[in-house]
Chain A
Amino acid sequence: MFCLFMKKASVLALLCLLTAAVLAGCGKSEKVIAKLDDAREAKIGVMTGTTGEQLAGARFPNADIKSFDDVMDAVAALKAGQIEAVIMAYSNAVYVAKHNPELWYLPEPVEKEDMAVGVRKGNDELLAAVDRIIAELQDDGILEDMKRRWFKQDLSPYEQVDLAVPASGAVLKVGVSATREPFCFTDENGRITGYDGELARRISAKLGRPVEFSDMKFSALIPALQSGKIDLAISMAPTGERKKSINFSQPVFASAQVMLVKKAPGATEGDVSFLQRAGDSFYNNIILENRYLLIMDGLKVTVIISILSTVFGTLLGALICFMRMSPNKALRQPAKVYISILRGTPVLVLLMIIFYVVFASVDINPVLVAVIAFGMNFGAYVSEMFRTGIESVDRGQTEAGIAMGFTKAKTFLYIVLPQAVRQILPVYKGEFISLVKMTSVVGYIAVQDLTKASDIIRSRTFDAFFPLVMVAVLYFFISWLLSLTLGYVERIADPKTRRKRVF
Chain B
Amino acid sequence: MIKVEHLSKQFGELTVLRDVNAEIKKGEVISIIGPSGTGKSTFLRCLNLLEMPSGGRIFIDGSDILDKSADVPKLRQKMGMVFQSFNLFAHLTALENLTIGPVKLLGRSKEQAEKKAMELLKMVGVAEKAGSFPDELSGGQKQRVAIARCLAMEPEIILFDEPTSALDPTMVSEVLAVIRRLAKEGMTMAIVTHEMDFARDVSNRVFYMDEGIIYEEGPPQQIFESPQKEKTKVFINRVRSYSCHIDNPDYDLYAMNGEIETFCEKHALPKQTRNRALLLVEELLVVFGAWRGAQAVDLDLTLSYSEKQDSLELVVESAGDYLNPFEENTRPDQLGITIVKNLSENMEYRRVNNRNRVYLTVKK
* Interface-lining segment among A7-15, A278-286, A412-420, A428-436: A412-420
Tell me whether A138 is interfacial, beta carbon within 8 Å: no
Complex Cα distance, B92 from A394, in Å, reads 15
- B83 and A399 contacting across the interface, CB-CB below 8 Å: yes
A396 interface residue (CB < 8 Å to B): yes
Of A94-102, A241-249, A366-374, A400-408, the stretch lying at the interface with chain B is: A400-408
**Shortest beta-carbon distance from B2 to chain A in Å:** 15
Pair B105/A405 contact, Cβ less than 8 Å:
yes
Asked if A414 and B104 make an inter-chain contact with CB atoms under 8 angstroms apart, the answer reads yes
Q: Which A residues are in CB contact (< 8 Å) with B193?
A: none
**A495 contacts the other chain (CB 8 A):** yes
CA distance A155 to B146 in the complex (A): 83
A397 contacts B by Cβ under 8 Å: yes
Q: Which residues of B contact A419 (CB under 8 A)?
A: 90-91
User: B74-97: which residues lie under 8 A (CB-CB) from chain A?
Assistant: 74, 76-77, 79-81, 83, 85-93
Query: What residues on B are CB-neighbors of A393 within 8 Å?
Result: 90
With a CB–CB cut-off of 8 A, which chain A residues contact B101? 404-406
Q: With A396-B87, A495-B133 given, is the CB distance from A402 to B104 under 8 Å? A: no
Chain A residues within an 8 Å CB radius of B50: 399, 402-403
> Could you mark each residue 185-220 of chain B with 1 if its beta carbon is under 8 Å from any beta carbon of chain A, else 0?
000000000000000000000000000000000000
Interface contact B89-A401, CB-CB below 8 Å: yes
A148 within 8 Å of B by Cβ?
A: no
Q: Is the CB of B92 within 8 A of A495?
A: yes
Partner of B153, one of A404, A410, A418: A404
B residues in contact with A407, CB < 8 Å:
73
B113 within 8 Å of A (CB atoms): no
Contact with A along B100-112 (1 / 0, CB 8 A): 1100110000000
Residues of A within 8 A of B86 (CB): 396
In the assembled complex, how far is the CB of residue B62 from the closest CB belonging to chain A, in whole angstroms?
Answer: 20
Q: Out of A394, A406, A502, which one reaches B105, CB within 8 Å?
A: A406
A414 touches B87 (CB 8 A): no
Task: Please provide the chain A residues from 460 to 503 with a CB less than 8 Å away from any CB of chain B in the complex.
Answer: 495-496, 499, 502-503
Q: Given B79, B80, B100, B149, which contacts A414 in the complex, CB threshold below 8 Å?
A: B100
Q: Cα distance A405–B152 when bound, in Å? A: 12
Query: How long is the Cα–Cα vector from A404 to B100 in the complex, in angstroms?
Result: 10
> Is B48 an interface position by the 8 A CB rule?
yes
Q: Which of B85, B87, B88 has the most C-beta atoms of chain A within 10 angstroms of its own C-beta?
A: B87
Asked whether A499 and B73 contact (CB < 8 A) given A403-B48, A404-B105, A414-B104, the answer is: no
Cα A503 to Cα B95 in complex, Å, equals: 12
CB–CB B83/A396 < 8 A? yes
Q: Does B258 contact A (CB under 8 A)?
A: no
CA A396 – CA B77 in complex, angstroms? 17
Shortest A392–chain B CB gap in Å is 10
Which residues of B are found within 8 Å of A422, using beta-carbon distances?
A: 91
- Taking a contact as CB atoms under 8 Å apart, the answer to whether B77 and A418 are in contact is no
**B91 contacts A406, CB within 8 Å?**
no
Beta-carbon contact of B91 and A495 below 8 Å:
yes
A499 to B133, CA, bound (A): 10
- Residues B89 and A405 in contact, CB atoms below 8 Å apart: no
> Which chain B residues lie closer than 8 Å to A396 at the CB level?
83, 85-87
Name, among A405, A410, A414, A495, the residue most crowded by chain B CB atoms within 10 Å (CB to CB): A405
In the complex, whether B131 has a CB less than 8 A from a CB of chain A is yes
**CB-CB < 8 A to A405: which residues of B?**
73-74, 76-77, 101, 105, 153
Bound form: Cα–Cα A42–B90 in Å: 68
Closest to A419 in B: B91
Contact between A397 and B73, CB atoms less than 8 A apart: no
* Given A405-B73, A419-B91, A496-B133, CB of A400 within 8 Å of CB of B81: yes
Cβ-defined contact, A397 with B87, below 8 A:
yes
Count of chain B residues with Cβ under 8 Å from any Cβ of A?
28
**Is there an interface contact between B76 and A399, defined as CB atoms closer than 8 Å?**
no
Nearest CB of B to A410, in Å: 7
Do the beta carbons of B104 and A400 come within 8 Å of each other? no
- Bound-state CA distance A393–B88 (Å) is 11
Q: Which of B1-59 contact A (CB under 8 A)?
A: 48, 50
Residue of B nearest to A401 (CB): B89
Distance of A404 from chain B, by nearest CB (Å):
5
CB proximity of A395 to chain B, nearest CB, Å: 9
Chain A residue numbers with a CB within 8 Å of B88 are 397, 400
Docked CA distance A400–B147 (Å): 12
Q: Are A403 and B104 in contact (CB under 8 A)?
A: no
Contacts of B105 in A (CB 8 A): 404-406
Question: Which of B50, B74, B89, B100 is packed against the most chain A CB atoms within 10 Å?
Answer: B89
Q: Does A418 contact B91, Cβ atoms closer than 8 Å?
A: yes
Residues of A within 8 A of B79 (CB): 403
Contacts of B74 in A (CB 8 A): 405
Instruction: Find chain A residues with CB under 8 A from B133 CB.
Output: 495-496, 499
Establish whether residues A397 and B81, one from each chain, have CB atoms under 8 Å apart when the complex forms.
Answer: no
Contacts of B131 in A (CB 8 A): 499, 502-503
In whole Å, how far is A227's beta carbon from the nearest beta carbon of chain B? 50
Residue of A nearest to B105 (CB): A405
* CB closest chain-B residue, reference A405: B77
Indicate if the CB atoms of A403 and B76 lie closer than 8 Å: yes
Interface-centre pick from B50, B77, B91 (highest chain A CB count, 10 A): B91
Measured in the bound complex, the distance between the Cα atoms of B93 and A93 in whole Å is 72
* Cβ contact of A399, chosen from B77, B87, B100, cutoff 8 A: B87
CA distance A397 to B79 in the complex (A): 16
Interchain CB contact under 8 A, A400 and B83 = yes
**A502: B residues at CB distance < 8 A:** 131
From B77, B87, B91, contact of A400 by CB (8 A): B87
Smallest Cβ distance from B132 to chain A, in angstroms? 9
Known: A396-B83, A399-B83, A496-B133. A406 touches B104 (CB 8 A): yes
Q: How far is the CB of B138 from chain A (nearest CB, A)?
A: 18
List the B side residues contacting A397 at CB < 8 Å: 87-90
Distance A393 CA – B90 CA, assembled complex (angstroms): 9
User: From residue B106, how far is it (CB to closest CB) to chain A in Å?
Assistant: 9
**C-alpha spacing A410/B76, complex, angstroms:** 14
A499 to B88, CA, bound (A): 17
Give the complex CA separation of A502 and B92 in angstroms: 13
Q: A403-B48, A407-B73 known; A415 and B81 CB under 8 Å?
A: no
* B93: nearest chain-A partner, CB-CB: A499
- In this complex, the member of A402, A419, A422 whose beta carbon has the largest number of chain B beta carbons within 10 angstroms is A402
CB of A501, distance to nearest CB on chain B (Å): 12
User: For residue A503, which residues in chain B have a CB less than 8 angstroms away from its CB?
Assistant: 131
Specify the chain A residue showing the minimal Cβ separation from B101.
Answer: A404
Rounded to whole Å, the gap between the CB of A36 and the closest CB of chain B is 74
Question: Which A residues are CB-close (under 8 A) to B73?
Answer: 402, 405-407
15 A–B pairs (Cβ distance < 8 Å), ordered by A: A394-B85, A396-B85, A396-B86, A397-B89, A399-B87, A400-B88, A400-B89, A404-B81, A404-B153, A405-B74, A405-B76, A414-B100, A495-B93, A499-B133, A502-B131
**Interface residues in chain A, defined as those with a beta carbon under 8 Å from any beta carbon in chain B:** 393-394, 396-397, 399-407, 410, 414-415, 418-419, 422, 495-496, 499, 502-503
What 4 A-B pairs come out closest when comparing CB atoms? A405-B77, A400-B87, A396-B87, A403-B81
